[in-house]
């Protein structure tokens, strides 16, 4: 079982049908038979707008979300820790709403490490930096940064990481990922857009490149990559195959319009090329 925490949910696309006066987000979860638990908030879920231009340029307009009270925060934290104790993976993803301490993900990771579950974190900016400030105690089992977020964590040049990989050299990304492994993170899944993704663990590093696609929307591509990785991991796949699944799902998402998420029917694992890299040497102490 995988438990996901969305502390700051958003509605990227909503279709309200006649006679449906319920919360569209909860209705969608129920329709897809996804088990879910909610913590009451004082307002509606935020709405995010993504504008995709014909040349692939994407502009995101994200609302900050509803402020969370101390009581709601305590209830949410209790819920995720209780359910996490029965899960294989807990995913902490997205931004944090107003009113939540920026180091809350770090607090959750430390609390969840007392149970048998694994923890994946996919966030950015202040919550990501606050998490890193509490490594190794709050080092998760998996972090999934894009090139910009990996740069935030390591001081690397995010644009250079992606451009180098597009030219066929993912070495800089592997070395940046190794810095996080040296600080206690078990695995780093660095997504690089059209250049694929790099996976770094204590055992080694791998680079996966996607098949040629016509990118229609990048919305949800990173989330789909993480879902692909975890789906393979809980089935017992080795690291290289987990990476293959991540890139297959991410590229499938990018080839679909709007906020459409890929299903297994959209995914072609055999079209993804995985290359073992020379294991990045640990940084000198």
Residues catalogued as catalytic: 223
CB 174 within 8 A of CB 198: yes
Residue at token pair 């996966």: 208
Give the chain's radius of gyration (CA, Å): 19
End-to-end CA distance of the chain, in Å? Answer: 38
Tell me how long the chain is. 285
**Residue found under tokens 């149970």:** 115
String of DSSP letters for 85-140: TT-SEEEEES---TTS-TTHHHHHHHHHTTSS-EEEEE--HHHHHHHHHTTTTT--
**Total Cβ atoms within 10 A of residue 29:** 14
């Amino acid at each position: 079982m995988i438990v996901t925490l969305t502390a700051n949910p958003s509605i990227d696309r909503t279709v309200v049908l006649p006679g449906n006066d319920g919360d569209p987000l909860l209705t969608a979860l129920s329709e897809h038979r996804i088990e879910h638990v909610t913590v009451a908030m004082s307002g509606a879920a935020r709405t995010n707008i993504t504008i995709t231009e014909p040349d692939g340029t994407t502009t995101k307009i994200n609302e900050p979300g509803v402020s969370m009270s101390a009581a709601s925060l305590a209830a949410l934290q209790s819920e995720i820790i209780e359910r996490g104790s029965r899960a294989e993976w807990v995913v902490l993803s997205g931004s944090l709403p107003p009113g939540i301490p920026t180091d809350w993900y770090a607090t959750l990771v430390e609390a969840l490490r007392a149970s048998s579950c694994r923890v994946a974190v996919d966030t950015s900016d202040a919550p990501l930096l606050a998490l890193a400030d509490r490594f190794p105690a709050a080092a998760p089992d998996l972090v999934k940064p894009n090139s910009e977020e990996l740069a935030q964590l390591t001081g690397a040049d995010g644009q250079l990481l992606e451009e180098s990989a597009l030219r066929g050299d993912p070495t800089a990304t592997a070395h940046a990922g190794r810095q996080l492994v040296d600080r206690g993170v078990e695995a780093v899944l660095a997504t690089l857009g059209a250049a694929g993704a790099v996976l770094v663990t204590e055992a080694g590093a791998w680079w996966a490149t996607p098949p040629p696609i016509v990118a229609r929307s990048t919305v949800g591509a990173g989330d789909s990559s993480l879902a692909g990785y975890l789906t393979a991991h809980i089935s017992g796949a080795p690291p290289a195959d987990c990476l293959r699944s991540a890139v297959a799902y991410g590229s499938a998402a990018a080839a679909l319009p709007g906020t459409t998420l890929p299903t297994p029917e959209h995914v072609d694992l055999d079209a993804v090329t995985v290359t073992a890299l020379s294991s990045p040497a640990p940084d000198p102490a």
